[in-house]
Amino acid sequence: MTTANENEILTRVGAGTKMGELMRQFWLPVAKSSELVADGDPVRLKILGEKLIAFRDTSGRVGVMDHRCPHRCASLFFGRNEENGIRCVYHGWKFDVDGNCLDMANVPPTQDFKAKVKAKAYKAEERNGLIWIFMGVQENAPGLPDHEANLVPEEQMGINFQLRECNYLQAIEGELDTSHLGFLHFGSVGKGNFEGATFRSTVANRAPEYLTKETDYGAVYAAYRPAAEFEGKLNWRLAHFLFPCFALPPLAALDTNVALRGYVPIDDENTMCIILFKKDNRTAEDWRERNAIAGGDDFHNLPNTTDWNGRWRLKENRANDYLIDRDIQRGKSYTGIGGIILQDQAITESMGAITDHTFEHLAPSDKMITETRRRLIRAANAYAKDGTLPPCAANPAAFAGTRGGAFFTDEGADWLESYREIMAQAPIEARIAAE
């Protein structure tokens, strides 16, 4: 059982908290590259409880910094993005993407001290359509993590953002709980609804067994059950937790499933979900078929606003009960809520802004939940104690060559050996960073 103290460590992410300080030692994706235009409007971001602004300067560089001007704390959201810097409209002080003060417009040149003034800015880098920031000690920033899905060219990837109004932990744990697939998403269907073998086993046996293993980059687990279509074989659904808040879900067959899910804390009670998947491996028709079986489709976004939490909100939300249709629930849909992503959203938000995990009664099917919490708590405590970090924090290649997915083995085969054998033959993007 998770104790009250452990619950506090796991769920609090602000500056000075154990988990918040741990997360600041990793690169975090915070926006799509397309959200920032050269000399365009600044964008409000809130990450790990910090209010920031992001902008792209005249030369195309990205700046992410505390929204407060270091002069009198007026918000730089109202600033003028011009000539390779953001200029505060209160007194005309101007800063570049690194936070250097370029101009103190209301101060006589003889009294200028701009060399001594610096805005609080974070390192920002772009890769294949995503903007990442590093909020730890800036001189210690490693290279960007070699997540396979972010190594694939942007035009080959689907990139979706989605605001989730709950703590990051309950959001990411939805990805690490494979047995809910057969209920929440496919509870009203049988194996005959699927042409491929991957999901037939899931609905033929909704109570699999589990194995987990700690890794340098987090943890890996697999749910296994007798294969529905192949005599004498086992069906495996393998997935990973990656520090500090990423998951590699088993969305499709392992040999094609190039995907990544990030659950970046906005603050203690809100999370930005980043969803990456390779388009070649999941066609529009695949999505339509799967969503039709699950009861609807996803990603009906409201127009973005400039509020701190105004980006990537869904039309179906807590205020309208996610447009649940009870008549459909009594028939072809287990939930009456349309779409796999939306079903996950509704359930994780229904737990409250921050779940009291001491109230839970975890079961054997929650083995990966227990493993992940243990990894996070140990890592947060170790960093707080003496600055020790998981090995992957300083090693971008630690994440290379990892992938979630489904596969089949003979009964008695070693699951991790089988996983490695399939990955050794996987398409080249799985091994780009390792090479």
Q: Can you give the residue ranges of every domain in the chain?
A: 27-139, 148-431
Q: What superfamily does domain 27-139 belong to in CATH?
A: Rieske [2Fe-2S] iron-sulphur domain (2.102.10.10)
Which tens digits make up the pLDDT trace of 11-34?
999 999 999 999 999 999 999 999
Give one word for 419, left, alpha or beta, with left for phi > 0 and alpha for psi -120 to 50. alpha
Local confidence band at 430 (pLDDT 50, 70, 90 cut-offs): very low
Residue 103 backbone phi and psi in degrees, to 5: -160, 135
From CA 92, how far away is CA 88, in angstroms rounded? Answer: 5
Which tens digits make up the pLDDT trace of 46-61?
999 999 999 999 999 9
Residue 303 has what DSSP assignment?
A: P
Which tens digits make up the pLDDT trace of 82-108?
999 999 999 999 999 999 999 999 999
Secondary structure of 196-261 in HEC code, one letter for each residue? CCCCHHHHHCCCCEEEEEEECCEEEEEEEEECCCCCCEEEEEEEEEECCCEEECCCCECCCCCEEE
Q: Does the pLDDT value for residue 197 go beyond 70?
A: no
From CA 203, how far away is CA 185, in angstroms rounded? Answer: 10
Angle at CA of residue 399, ends 245 and 419, nearest 5°: 105
Domain 148-431 is in which class? alpha beta
Q: CA distances (Å), 229 to each of 202, 209, 226, 282, in order?
A: 11, 18, 9, 22
Angle at CA of residue 435, ends 433 and 408, nearest 5°: 75
Cis before 70 (ω within 30): no
From CA 357, how far away is CA 7, in angstroms rounded? Answer: 6
Which tens digits make up the pLDDT trace of 367-409?
999 999 999 999 999 999 999 999 999 999 999 999 999 999 9
Q: Which one, of 118, 44, 209, 133, lies nearest residue 201 by Cα?
A: 209
Model pTM score: 0.94
Domains 27-139 and 148-431 share a fold: no
From CA 275, how far away is CA 294, in angstroms rounded? Answer: 18
